[in-house]
Amino acid sequence: MKKVIRVSQISVPLAHTKEHILKKACALSQIPTKKVLDMQIIKQSVDARKKDALSYTYTVHLVVDEHQKVKKNPAHVQEVHPVEYQIPVKPENGSDIKTAVIGAGPAGLFAAYELAQCGLCPQVYERGKAVEERQQDVEIYWSEGSLNPESNVQFGEGGAGTFSDGKLNTLVKDKFGRGRYVLETFVKFGAPEDILYVAKPHVGTDVLRNVVTQMRQEIIRLGGAFHFSSKVTDLRIKDGNVCAIEINGQEWHEVSHLVLAIGHSARDTFEMLYERQIPMAAKSFAVGMRVEHPQEMINHSQYGTDADMNLLPTAAYKLTHQASNGRGVYSFCMCPGGFVVNASSEPHRLAVNGMSYRKRDSHNANSAIIVSVTPEDYPNGSHPLSGIAFQRGLEEKAWNLTKGKVPQQLFCDFEQGKVSEGYGSFESCVKGQHDFANLREIFPEALNEAFCEGMHAYGRKIAGFDRTDCILSGVESRTSSPVRIHRDETFQSVIRGLYPCGEGAGYAGGIMSAAMDGLKVAEAILQQEMK
């Protein structure tokens, strides 16, 4: 028998080896190195509290014989019992169960993957294209401005996260090991192993596309099927149960379980669901702008001016502020060494997002700086789709400013409400056509005031954050779903067999939490079948 000892707060210099970590861990636990059967790195982070003495801090698991004596210390050294995620039991008639998954983002992919592993043959319907073709459509849009409403940054295999930073950090705590399982699955399908332990793991948009492709191929191998350019346009409901779905307004398919993982931008699908009287409600979210700074400035702020960047990850930040008018202002989806991207999905409406490649090696850092909004801010705020109307209003204003190009403005000019005449000491890293405009015209003045207050507050935390020439791009409006679709403790809507899932349904916020929600929904379906 073996036991696992968790050793935390292991400090080592920036330049170190795995052997250095092992020796430190053994010294803290007083376990001879030769008695360690295996060492697994659980967490790695940078300790930047002392800029003249930067270091890495590790948490590791040491596997030892059960009789091995250990110097236990509740703060640093303790025996643990790691939880491994358990795949649910396979139903006997799995292949006969008519299960459909709507959407091939992280929630839909992980739901389909789980179901396929348990012998079901999920049919995955994705309104957009396979990631290879989708990438081509996105590149054309960025270079020529020709938008495909069904194949873009929001719609297509992999979901909106495919053209993002590929962040895999989450605040969701899960005692069943789902989070670790998601990360291990990403590694299995081509993601780098460091996502298993770095404090803020990210895959990068270039690597994530391959991971998504590999997952699809495995789901097909297990008996599932993918149908691209296949948008769900209607539901058939009988005796309170969903029994069929319409695809592209043409063909109907029988279903007994329907996973609704449509993403946060499927506005026409939300409208269809509302017409079919699926219970839902408007929810709070946040809107704002992408803000760019030189990455070197962020590196210097976080690590000091003498830091050896060859030994450190590209620096990131996370900022929050409570504005005097009661609005929350915070950074969102921070992209070190990234790009601002035109993330629009509807004609004559414009939205932006941030994206990084695996190497995070562009000249700029960008993040959304967003301000909280509630149904009280929306037109007809009591209506379930009022948040969508609010988003569309902002996006239409953004599009009209520059006729579809990404509107940009220097921060100093935003404060004065005038159009910028050019960039300052650095230029934008942006994917898509762009032009200068007065972004202040997009938002209600209360949001503008909170944004400016937040920027100056952040300037007191990070020197230069509120510099006059930092670059703003608008509008960041797709931070999360503006709708929550009701589900009960069985993960079903009042319409039985309908499983609202992931970020679009209002139950997740990012790749990790969406993937974990996909697992939960798949488990719920399997539990129903085992009754």
Rounded to 5 degrees, φ, ψ at 98 are: -85, 95
pLDDT of residue 334: 96
> Which pLDDT score, from 0 to 100, does residue 166 have?
86
Bridge partner list, 328: 322
Domain ranges within the chain, ordered by starting residue: 2-80, 95-280+485-530, 284-476
pLDDT score for 190: 97
CATH class given for the domain over 95-280+485-530: alpha beta
Q: Are strands 320-322 and 328-335 parallel, antiparallel or unpaired?
A: antiparallel
Q: What is the pLDDT of residue 448?
A: 98
Q: Looking at the domain covering 2-80, what would its CATH class be? A: alpha beta
Q: Which are the contacts of 300, defined by CB distance < 8 A and separation ≥ 6?
A: 307
Q: Residues of 123-149 as b/e, b for ≥16 C-beta within 10 angstroms? A: bbbbbbbbbebbbebbeebbeeeebbe
Residue 167: φ, ψ to 5°: -70, 140
Give residue 145's identity as a one-letter amino acid code: G
Q: Give the rounded distance of the alpha carbon of 221 from its chain centre.
A: 27
pLDDT of res. 529: 85
For 308-350, what is each residue's pLDDT tens digit?
999 999 999 999 999 999 999 999 999 999 999 999 999 999 9
Residue numbers of the chain with a pLDDT score lower than 50: none
Residues 6+ apart with CB under 8 A from 511: 106, 161, 164, 166, 167, 168
Please tell me the pTM assigned to this model.
0.96
What secondary structure does DSSP assign to 274-326, as a single string? HHTT--EEE--EEEEEEEEEEHHHHHHHHH-TT--GGGSPPP----EEE-TTS
31/186 Cα distance (integer angstroms): 33
Counts of helices then strands in the chain (DSSP H, E): 11, 24
Tell me the torsion sign for CA atoms 330, 334, 336, 342. negative
Q: Which is it for strands 55-65 and 38-47: parallel, antiparallel or unpaired?
A: antiparallel
The confidence score (pLDDT) of residue 90 equals: 84
